Amino acid sequence: MGIVPLRRRLFTFIDLLRCRRAPSRFAFDGLARPARDRRRPRRYREGGARGESSLGRLIYAVAAAAALCVQGLGAEARAEPRARVEGELGDDLRDAIQRAIGDIDDPIETRFEARRRARAAAEDAIAVLRSEGYYAYSVEPDVSESDPPVPLVRIQPGPRFTLGEAAIDWQGEAPDEPSQAAARDAVDLEPGAPGRAAEVVAAEGRIVATLQGRGYADASPRPREVIVDHADDSLTPTYRIAAGRLVRLNGVELRTDGRTRPAWVDGLAPWTPGERYSPDSVGELERRLLDTGVYDSVTVALAPAERETAEGLRPVVVSLAERKRRSIEAGASYSTTDGAGVDVRWTRYNVLGRADTLAVLGRLSEQDSRVGVDLTLPHWRRAQQTLVLGAAAYDVSTDAYDETGFGVRTDVTRRYGKTSYLTVGGTLDASRTKDRRPEDLSSLGRDIVTASVLGEVLLDRSNDPLDPRRGWRVAARAEPTVLLGEENLPYVRVQVQGTGYLPLDDQARTVLAGRLRVGRILNGSIPEVPASRRFFAGGGGSVRGFPYQAVGPRLADNTPKGGLSLFEASAEVRRDLTERWGVALFVDAGSVGSSGAVDLGDLAVGAGFGVRYNLGFAPIRVDIATPVSNRRGEAAFQIYLSIGQSF
């Protein structure tokens, strides 16, 4: 029998978003059943098999998983629609109904089973029609006379209903006039537009969000009313909204069993007592606490209405679960060029009660050994500003130089947005450096005190810090430096790097990435500038295919000389093969100038390919590269392993 709605109905949207099948099916059930309709459409109920058991029980071996994949491919080939849709429907509407009805693998053996599936498919079709604004529909489940029988759903959608003039009916005290106007603007339903249920529901959410954003924290919807008028094929919603009272914020109420000082948390609040409630402000306080990395969990919420003070202010309750006080981390590495290395880090959290981190670090390797201590104070003096104090003793031994010394440093980093930073700081080092004189290759040992001032800016407009697929980044760094020793030398070391990422398809499965880096030391010469302060190129973050420090001028005994200027460029094509696996082809080039500008005719070029495995948060990168030009006895290829893209 056909299912035909009445001429005029009053709807409540209580079960508007009823999901009755797996997420891959059409989950939106459109408008709710009529509240005043005595002749309701027949309700068809599903029966049949239960859902398939989960494949995520981890009890299958690899061979069994492979067998299931093969079986799944065969099943997909045999799948057919649960019911055949008939009627004069637009392509988009037909496709939406067919997706909601879904496919099935089991063959139909009886007419009873075919009729049951047809009834279930009819109810799915009704949900789609309502959600798309068709309320004068006729839907008839049936079964063909063929053998085996085929479930049928005959559909006449009728006219698509259009939106009338939406209204807001304030329940209780109405908000102030500017907030009422903002709520009306938030409805954003154009009269005459298709009466899609999802858009009607979304408008209610916008009204509530607008009121909360203007200080009405307790704003909430009441059951909405929608009149479906079959006389003019219109749908007119009326939103019943309880705005509540305007909320003004008080200070922070801290709940924790840890060591965090309440006064420090209160100082992080991005509001002053008496300001209107703002969900963005409350959320910002939660983000600031989470950014410190000291807490296992952070919850920030407005206190209930009964906690309001006599002055009409409500506190914000902050609940902190602090991580364990101490942690120990250890790691090991090995490289054919850098040798073996061991790293150890001991960390103490929240010593000062303001989410601080005290770390003692140690590294032992053939090339770079050091021990140091760092103290990090997040949100120092103001939010989004971090102070780092550090000291370290080090012993560095490379092909170009040896250096032993002790240094202290301090820097302040100010964050803008999520990934852009401005850093200023300074360092003071006392070291003994050994390198070679260019003219006679004799050993040159110098005791030097180095004082540097640092200024660095990073603008990151890429979409991901570890796996960027679109956007760009620009970083610039300047270090005015004074060398104090047998001879005093002031100079400035400047570096600028830019990277760009261009997706070649809508899904960004193929990405063209490029990098350009230049550097210059001003007011210095070789050997006045110690080797440890010069520019070098070559290696995984520079010119792949060449070992560390292998690009650039060399002394007569083949020792890397370093230079006063630097040029590097990279081009890389990245391609996703599957959800997890990807590949990359790349070309790197670089050159180091020993006296003036870089000689681009002396470029060292390396090329290679890589494999990427996506961990979900970042890819594991394995690159193999070989020198293409300017090869001077290097190995035939180099292998690089890291987490994250090369740039």
| Predicted confidence (pLDDT) per residue in 200-258, tens digit | 999 999 999 999 999 999 999 999 999 999 999 999 999 999 999 999 999 999 999 88
Contacts with 273 (C-beta within 8 Å, 6 or more apart), sequence order: 248, 249, 250, 251, 313
Residue scoring higher pLDDT (442 or 134): 134
Q: Does residue 81 have a cis peptide bond before it, meaning omega lies within 30 degrees of 0? A: no
pLDDT at 77 over 60: no
Tokens of 545: 């295919």
| Predicted confidence (pLDDT) per residue in 348-390, tens digit | 999 999 999 999 999 998 888 999 999 999 999 999 999 999 9
Which sign, positive or negative, has the C-alpha torsion 95, 101, 107, 110? negative
Statement: 162-242 belongs to CATH 3.10.20.310? yes
What CATH architecture applies to the domain 80-156?
Roll (3.10)
SS (H, E, C) 556-573: CCCCECCECEEEEEEEEE
CATH of domain 379-643: 2.40.160.50
Domains of the chain: which residue ranges? 80-156, 162-242, 248-322, 379-643
So what CATH class is 248-322? Answer: alpha beta
pLDDT (0 to 100) of residue 531: 87
| Predicted confidence (pLDDT) per residue in 338-357, tens digit | 667 899 999 999 999 999 99
- How many percent of the chain have pLDDT more than 70? 86
Domains 80-156 and 162-242 share a fold: yes
pLDDT at 482 over 50: yes
Tokens of 377: 């104070």
pLDDT (0 to 100) of residue 441: 62
What does the pLDDT average to over 420-442? Answer: 84
pLDDT at 35 over 50: no
pLDDT (0 to 100) of residue 52: 35
Which sign, positive or negative, has the C-alpha torsion 192, 195, 200, 206? negative
| Least confident stretch, 430-434, 452-456, 601-605 | 601-605
pLDDT at 9 over 60: no
pLDDT (0 to 100) of residue 442: 63
pLDDT (0 to 100) of residue 435: 80
- With 0-12 / 13-18 / 19 or more C-beta atoms within 10 angstroms meaning exposed / middle / buried, residue 65 is exposed
Closest CA to 471 of 480, 462, 479, 458: 462
Cα dihedral 469, 384, 519, 629, rounded to 10, equals: -30
pLDDT at 480 over 90: yes
pLDDT at 535 over 70: yes
What is the rounded average pLDDT for all residues in the chain? 85
What does pTM read for this prediction? 0.72
What does the pLDDT average to over 109-115? Answer: 89
Residue 32: band (very low, low, confident or very high) from pLDDT cuts 50, 70, 90: very low
Residue scoring higher pLDDT (43 or 125): 125
Residue type, 257: D
pLDDT (0 to 100) of residue 220: 96
Q: Quick one: the chain helix, strand, coil %, rounded to 5?
A: 15, 45, 40
pLDDT (0 to 100) of residue 446: 84
| Predicted confidence (pLDDT) per residue in 172-200, tens digit | 999 999 999 999 999 999 999 999 988 99
Distance CA 559, CA 281 (A): 57
Query: 31, 226 in Cβ contact below 8 A?
Result: yes
Q: How many alpha carbons lie under 13 Å from residue 229 in its C-beta half-sphere?
A: 11
pLDDT at 568 over 50: yes
